[in-house]
Chains A and B, each alone.
Chain A
Amino acid sequence: AIRMTQSPSSFSASTGDRVTITCRASQGISSYLAWYQQKPGKAPKLLIYAASTLQSGVPSRFSGSGSGTDFTLTISCLQSEDFATYYCQQYYSYPRYTFGQGTKLEIK
């Protein structure tokens, strides 16, 4: 199975900061990567697919990059509503999908 490793697992930041979350795949997955945001008690929400394509309705402060094994999610200017847990998901090995362990973004 393809293993997805996110870093960091958690960190604190302030409103207005630029933050970057990293996701590494255990083997090459081309650009078959999605990012989700999850708030407590809620379902995950799709942010980005194909590594860098913004889902409709998602604010442009979110961006994604990478291909192969290394990927990043960047939030250019943190807003209060962005404090949540973020997950990457590979769909290269469709349909045996795997997720990263999550990155919890907390308010400093």
Chain B
Amino acid sequence: EVQLVESGGGLVQPGGSLRLSCAASGFTFSSYEMNWVRQAPGKGLEWVSYISSSGSTIYYADSVKGRFTISRDNAKNSLYLQMNSLRAEDTAVYYCAREAHDSSGYPEYYFDYWGQGTLVTVSS
């Protein structure tokens, strides 16, 4: 069974830092592209960052570029999001999400599994 379990959320002051983790199990983590998607309280979904299966290709939303860093450790089946210079508008539930693959193992670019999310609150 595919499982994605986020951790590391909490309350942090503006300008502070936080590191989120996503522990993956039930599939070959090193073969899949991964993303972080966030949802502010009562709002919609916002894509945050993408990392390729090897970690060699990375993209960020403009809203977090230069402040957030996505990474992965395939040996530990884990995905990370280092968040620096946090702002009030970064307050959200952060989800890790796996990109689907077709039957031949090629990425299909939509998200077939999501974690349960971890809440980040930026407030003084």
CB distance from A106 to the nearest CB of B (A): 15
Task: Please give me the residue from chain A that is nearest to B108 by CB atom.
Answer: A49
- Residues of A near B100 (CB, < 8 A) are 46, 49
Q: How large is the interface on B (under 10, 10 to 19, 20 to 34, 35 or more residues)?
A: 20 to 34
The stretch among B42-50, B74-82, B83-91 that forms the contact with chain A is B42-50
Interface size on A, residues (CB 8 A): 23
Task: Please give me the residue from chain A that is nearest to B49 by CB atom.
Answer: A95
Is the contact region of chain A dominated by helix, strand, or loop, or is it mixed?
Answer: loop
Is the contact region of chain B dominated by helix, strand, or loop, or is it mixed?
Answer: strand
Chain B 80-122 against A: per-residue CB contact (8 Å), 1 yes, 0 no? 0000000000000001000010000000111110111100000
**Which of B33, B50, B100, B110 has the most A CB atoms < 10 Å from its CB?**
B110
What are the 6 closest A-B residue pairs judged by CB atoms, nearest first? A43-B114, A95-B50, A91-B109, A34-B110, A97-B47, A99-B45
